[in-house]
Structure 1
Amino acid sequence: MTATASPVRQATVGEMLGMLIAAACVLPLIIIAALTESSGYAFHAMLGVLASVSAIVLIANRCFDGTIPVEPQEIDGKPNYNMGPVKFATVAAMVWGIAGFT
């Protein structure tokens, strides 16, 4: 009998970096919340802790749920990439270059 397992997707560099940064924020924020004399500052530090822990959990759930999302190669007969930002950046660079000449 052969075992069939769902493919495991490895986290991308961005996902791992996001979890690492969020994890690095938790302990300093808890220390700030514990040592501050201002209740407002402590409240906002604890909001940061909550946001960091939530980010870790949500990113980890997305990364390690065992499913690999399949992205379509084409959408409506066109390649699946967004050229809008590239076009905007090209026009902005041209405008900036022309403005630099004057």
Structure 2
Amino acid sequence: MEKNLNAYITKLIELDSKALELKGERDAELLKLEADSRNELKSIEDMLEEAALMAKQEHDRIMADAKLRVREMDEAARLTVNELQADFESFKESAAKDMWKQLLEAER
């Protein structure tokens, strides 16, 4: 019976050692998975930051292009208005000269 008890205790010690070994392996694997997850999360965060920066740069570029286009359109409109005013003034002067000419001819 003592032999069986010693064999039983020896088997328990072996099982305990194996359990500790497996626990160590599991803990190491969990630490590796945790580190891998952290690295992947950091990589994703870096990609998101880069995407946000690129989006902001694209937004800024679009806004700058739009502002330039608005300035160009504003300048074109201003030139058209100035041209129309000049044409109107020329028309007014021409009409006034014609009216004076007709009045002078009518008086003669």
Structure with bigger RCO (C-alpha 8 Å, 6+ apart): 1
Q: Which has the higher helix share?
A: 2
User: Which has more radius of gyration?
Assistant: 2
